[in-house]
Structure 1
Amino acid sequence: MFKHLKRIKFMLKPWRFLPFLKEFYVSKDVQLHKKALGVLLILTYAFFPFDLIPDFLYLIGIIDDVVIAGFVLERMVNIAPQSLKEKYNVI
């Protein structure tokens, strides 16, 4: 439970998280299918015409998109190589 919360806290700091994401996609330690899966899941949900909560419900509709994208990004942090997690102190 605490690892999950620590990853979310890490993701809320863009000055640390964005370089992590860049290195995640540049790293040869991360398998290509893992890189593609993260992008594919976010793009699929973003462009899929049906949402869990429709976007015309202004604030609530946008929040479900952010939560789903956050979940996918949190999973990407989870599957990152141990060396990358150690470098950014995400363990």
Structure 2
Amino acid sequence: MRVLLKACMDTEKANEAIRNGTLGKMLQESMEQIRPEAAYFTTDHGRRTAYMVFDMEDSAQMPVIAEPFFLQLDAEITYTPVMNAEDVQRGLAQLGR
């Protein structure tokens, strides 16, 4: 299932990770693990935020993916199922006419 991961990082923890050089490494390792089809980095409500769209093959992946963000960045994590345009078209084709 295609999923949007939103990770809002604690500012102090992220500042510390930048200062000690671990933020970039942690993000790179996370991206290598989940292999997102898209990844965006911005701010949300004044906090550093990562958005990654990826294929979640098993819900058991959720803790493995989230824990580095929780442990290292005290992040708030959300997982949201999402569709691309092709997915929407396939879904609509399944509706009764």
- TM-score w.r.t. the length of structure 1 is 0.36
Q: Compare relative contact order (CA 8 Å, sep 6+) and give the higher one, 1 or 2.
A: 2
| Greater fraction of residues in helix | 1
More strand by share: 2
* Structure number with bigger Rg: 2
